[in-house]
Chain A
């Protein structure tokens, strides 16, 4: 630890950190564009100049390491003037097209100009023109006139994605960002360059022009795309999701997420979301209300001769939350004394994976469902009644669907081929409409929160099972919140000991 003085405030900070981080620890902020804590130091924007005592020239805070007894100023007149000058330089050739720029509202150029400059430009020459709407790759578009050449994106591709597709070409004020000849920005993490771009130079093809950012509401959640469980924010408005962006969790995803994960919101918004329960009436697939379907399920189950705990099975899902799976388990246990708990997961023959964030297991909760004592599905055993969370793998469907004399109750999110065959289909929620927890590949329990109101009569599985319990008159627990379900999980399963929604916090807790 070293003792330093930031703007007159004495503070002890860890050895070896730079002045931007030190100022942050002192409760201050040094504005910067090119510096990013996860990337190498470039020192090119010159926005973070500070005055250090006994050093004649102003120094960039990003490339200066704290020394014991160091005294520096982040906000005196000399520093303020230098910042104004740097901002004026950066804005000299900037197109100032904020009204049509997607970054407006979350643009560091706007923010720092308002906070540190607010002076009229003295530039009377004609602005230089550079390429616009440059297609860098499948997901990212470049507006070179807006680019301030901070090279964050270049360093990201080189150092984090390790794909090295971007570079700066030309020289001086003709400098431009480009891909290397013959290359495209198509690494599995490419959209992160949009997130770290401090200005509107790099925009996401998926998000651009869809919604002004100041309308967006933000919900902290977890990406359901794979077992990594990257921490994300769901940006939504008008009950629609517009983008998923990574949220910092040093232990899981640092501050990144993959492109595949960013697409996981798309099914949530699909046209064919199930809105009401479906059943069969005189051989015809028919829509019912929730209150109509419940007694029908009850009748169907009691109509099976000799039904008992052995002939009934619950098939959980590694895609569903712990809370939903646990409610299924509890329902079968108490109502039917059944211990037949299987689970299914999304599997493909050649899943994408790497040694950074992307896991081959494309399910967010495989560890979670196994901790709840579900075992991997095995269709050799015969059952008469099935409670199924989510869409089953195809071969399992074929087997179960072919069985005569069986009752299948499936909780599904979409009205597609896979949800046409069960006797009863109950509309349920996606990750974006649920409260609950996933256990990721590190056995970290992380919480998701609903960003949207789920469509029609769809609801969480735990709500459905609580509701259904009342029709069977047993002493089933009636849950009124996911948190209550979680409390029961904690009580019953040793590995969850001591956890509460509150103690999970924003970044979750690892189970032994």
Chain B
């Protein structure tokens, strides 16, 4: 299969400029600079490329919202704040092929008329940060960035900006606030960033993976890209697989690939003795799939939507049948309540409330009414806030309760968690704090 994003992943020193250039890197910039910006936008639109950060919005369409001749500057922001639990595909791109991202960024900046771009990179990403910094220096030295790129009138400066540990700063408008030095809170929309974004100027925010697909699209043309995948989900996508599979890791597959086949062929199937219970296909915020659904679904936007889930970021979490779903959801609720920025009442209060209930449920202290209440709280959160963080917890809660209600009921009727070995053997529950659980070996084996 032709790879678009990862062809260099297995080459030694793939992160360096000589290797990238040897494989044809930056050559397409000559072609780009001969095109008109609106031709570039048109080409990207035709390719069908959709944002790979999770929302799946048409990339070319997003660019076309930027005003053509605004009075001030325009900006490109590269969203490298990959923080969704289960997702680590941008990290691979940043570590293994940073020049592909830089070349893609130049292409986007050229198309939207941005003279300055910022790579907002997750604070915990140390190696990726050092790699992208080194790559930027190399690119500047060779004239792929900076003034008059490759002798053309087009100039573009690209900077890095390190995050400080907040998941919410991966939300595009919180990201803008963070770059501006403000509190990392999503902005209320409208205005949308394409009209009033970074420092109030028209801004495009694109995910690392989205931008990394551009060199291929410009080089081979929109048709070549669109011929991969399905008619509505074109091209390839990275999936980062974690959980008890034989080969966890990051894999590039054409969209539309059957999930079961992907798990078997790429991830090597489940570890010996493990039985598949569920898969969260697109990062922790998307609705969970049962083992049965895993057999039926394909990895593309439409098929996952038909099965009530989402492609999301492609962060795939495989859950074996000996793992407690109540506990899994409790971990998710802890994460989202910890990471809510707290400005909207439903999210600030709802995520924390859900976490408190789930903590109790997991200990076996729940009541049947709690299950209805969890659904009701989720309904009050979903779609009623500035950003989608509250949806990101509401969706898992509703899907876990819809598909694995028996496990919740079991906790209630037993009065303890049937998955807790310590409880079963000693008869005395020894509860760990959720922080300990998050880093417990059991979670890591997940």
Chain A residues proximal to chain B, CB less than 8 Å: 41-47, 49, 57-58, 60, 63, 82, 85-86, 88-90, 92-93, 122-123, 125-126, 128, 148-149, 151, 167-168, 170-175
Contacts and interface: CB of A to CB of B under 8 A. Distances in A.
A111 to B, nearest CB: 17
Contact of A171 (B166, B188, B356): B166
Contacts of B230: none
Interface stretch (B104-112, B117-125, B341-349): B341-349
Contact of B350 (A60, A89, A125, A128): A89
B386 A172 contact: no
24 contacts: A43-B386, A44-B188, A44-B343, A44-B386, A46-B344, A46-B384, A60-B188, A85-B380, A85-B384, A86-B345, A89-B345, A89-B349, A90-B345, A92-B353, A126-B356, A128-B352, A171-B341, A172-B338, A172-B342, A172-B348, A172-B352, A173-B349, A173-B351, A175-B342
Contacts of B346: 46, 85-86, 89
A440 to B, nearest CB: 37
B305 to A, nearest CB: 15
B157 interface: no
Contacts of B341: 171-172
Contact of A173 (B352, B360, B379, B384): B352
Nearest to B184: A171
Contact of A44 (B166, B345, B373): B345
A43 B352 CA distance: 20
Q: Which residue of A49, A58, A125, A173 has the most chain B CB atoms within 10 A of its CB atom?
A: A173
Nearest to B343: A44
Interface residues of B, number: 32
Given A123-B353, A171-B338, A88 B380 contact: yes
Q: Is the interface of A mostly helix, strand, loop or mixed?
A: loop
A171 B340 contact: yes
Q: Which 4 A-B pairs rank lowest in CB-CB distance, beginning with the nearest?
A: A85-B380, A173-B352, A175-B342, A43-B188
Contacts of B228: none
A170 B345 contact: no
A63 B385 contact: no
Contacts of A90: 345, 349
Contacts of A128: 352
A123 B354 CA distance: 10
B337 interface: yes
Contact of B343 (A42, A57, A126, A174): A42
A173 B337 contact: yes
A171 B383 contact: no
Nearest to B384: A46
Nearest to B166: A171
B357 interface: yes
B220 interface: no
B364 to A, nearest CB: 15
Contacts of A174: 342
Interface string B365-393: 00000000100100110011110000000
Nearest to A170: B342
Nearest to A86: B345
A126 B338 CA distance: 17
Q: Which residue of A41, A44, A45, A149 has the most chain B CB atoms within 10 A of its CB atom?
A: A44
A43 to B, nearest CB: 4
Contacts of A58: 383-384
A173 B342 contact: yes
Contacts of B342: 149, 168, 170-175
B365 to A, nearest CB: 10
A338 to B, nearest CB: 65
B403 interface: no
Contacts of A60: 188
A86 B390 CA distance: 13
B385 A41 contact: no
B190 interface: yes
